[in-house]
Structures are given as structure tokens and as C-alpha cells.
Amino acid sequence: MARKIVVTSGKGGAGKTTVTANLGIFLAKTGARVVLVDVDFGLNNLDVVMGVENKIVYDVADILDGRCRVKQALVQDNGHKNLFVLPSGSLTASSPVSGQQLKLITESLSELFDYVILDCPAGLDCGFHRAVACADEAVVVTTPNLPSLRDADKAVTILKSYRLNKISLVVNRARGDLIMSDKMLFPKDIESLLKIPLIGVLPEEDAVFLSSGYTLPKSCDSYKAYKILANNLHKNSGKIYDVTAKYSGFFGSIRRSIKRSV
């Protein structure tokens, strides 16, 4: 049986889809069989971020309408043969998907994979509940700014009312230079505020923004950060990427002032 993990945030744009995609890629690199399910019906874009949009033949709507089986709708990743995407496709308000239907689909995927990762929509309404009801773990993604933290806190409160095995925290778009200049919260402080265990910190980096549809280049910091995050999720390594390392000490303070002046 797979670990079924919903990636959520409350706030829109916190990085749920990016984290879902890259967690999938880096878990697949460990050899695990992974499927990413786009449960952001209507504003679906996981297929685009994964670069598989041109390979889609069927989607969730086709499964629900009986035009195909779950296996037939899976789209294989371009770089990893053990990584698949289930696109959400053309569902509209006139053909809504129920929580029960989605649960049946994720249960059947659970028998084929080690990880079923659900890319949750923004907000805390029915789309959020439908996604969370299919999962047994949640990863809450937040950025280190107040609006995002407030929404993450609300999400955590609701998540605690579900019988989830684990609710973990990922801090996205962290800036080591701002943290070291006391202009951004330390990820550990965010962990204390939200009262859920921190499993990963991801730097803000242009490479992430530019990588949509492609895999991250090995040379970028985010590649290392995602690798560490996936290891922590997979093997409970307890390791977390340190975004401040580059900006500590003598050379770090020079890097900080260079970054300030650009």
C-alpha cells in the first residue's frame, strides 16, 4: 500500500504544484514508484509543470465517465520510468467529481505505487476537503511571509480534525540573505509558530521558476534542497537544507551585501 500524501497550503501560489512535481521526481530517483495526482480541478497545471501535457490521452473525467481505466489515464514522466502523472483534465462545474469517486481512484493507485502524491487546490473549501479525505499524510507548504503563514495555520487547524498519520511542514522560497539580516523568519521559528514538524526548506531561486516543464539543473541549490527533502520524507533522515549556510561567516556577509545591492 502506498503512502498517500496531500500537498496543501491554504494560500494560493505558495508552491504546492512545484513541490508536488519535484517531490515526485526526487522520490522517483530513490527508486520508489510514484504517482502524482492533480486534484486541482479547474485550475490544473501539474501536467504543464511536469512537461507531459502533450502526452495526455485520458484524464480523471474519462475515468469517471467510464471511457478508460485508471491505469490507461496515467502519463509516464519523460525522465523517470517509475514516475507517473494522473491529469485532472476537463472537469467543469457541470461535471463535478465527488470525494468518494476520488477516493476510489486513489485507493486503486495505492495498490500500484509506493507514493500517491496529491496536488491540492488553493483555499480551504470543498476542493481542499476532497483532496485531504483521500490522503493519510499532509505536507503543508508555506512561504515565510505573514499572509501565507496565516493561511497555513488555518489549514493546519482543519487538517488536525482529519485522522492523518502525519502533518509536516515545508518552507518554500526561503532567502538565506534576508534571514541572516533579520528580515525573514528562520524556518525553525515558523515550525514553532505552526506547531508541526519541519521536514524541508527550499530556497527561492530563479532556476525553480524557469524549470517549469523541465527538471531542475543539478548545479542549483534547489536540486540539493529537494534531494534532502525527498530523503527526509522517504527515510526520515532528519536532514534539512540550510539556506543560511551560504550567507554565514565572512564570505557570507559579502554575499549578503552583494545581493542587497542588486
Ligand X SMILES: Nc1ncnc2c1ncn2[C@@H]1O[C@H](COP(=O)(O)OP(=O)(O)OP(=O)(O)O)[C@@H](O)[C@H]1O
Segment contacting ligand X by CB under 6 A, of 6-14, 75-83, 160-168, 185-193: 6-14
Segment contacting Mg ion by CB under 5 A, of 10-18, 103-111, 138-146, 205-213: 10-18
- Measured CA to CA, the distance from residue 32 to residue 188 in angstroms comes to 29
| Residue window 215-234: x/- pattern of binding to ligand X, with contact defined by CB under 6 A | --------------------
Distance separating the N- and C-terminal Cα atoms of the chain: 49
Q: 3-class SS at 197?
A: coil
Indicate whether 231 belongs to the interface with Mg ion (CB under 5 A): no
Indicate whether 234 belongs to the interface with Mg ion (CB under 5 A): no
Segment contacting ligand X by CB under 6 A, of 28-36, 71-79, 146-154, 202-210: 202-210
Q: Which C-beta is closer to Mg ion: that of 108 or that of 212? A: 212
- Measured CA to CA, the distance from residue 88 to residue 230 in angstroms comes to 24
Residue in 32, 74, 83, 202 binding ligand X, rule: CB under 6 A: 202
CB of 45 to ligand X, least distance (A): 7
- Cβ neighbors of 184 (< 8 A, separation 6 or more) are 144, 174, 175, 178
CB of 126 to ligand X, least distance (A): 15
Of 87, 91, 102, 89, give the one whose Cα is nearest residue 135: 102
Residue in 4, 173, 234, 256 binding ligand X, rule: CB under 6 A: 173
- Measured CA to CA, the distance from residue 202 to residue 249 in angstroms comes to 21
Q: What is the DSSP letter of 136?
A: S
Name the site residues for Mg ion (rule: CB under 5 A).
Answer: 16-17
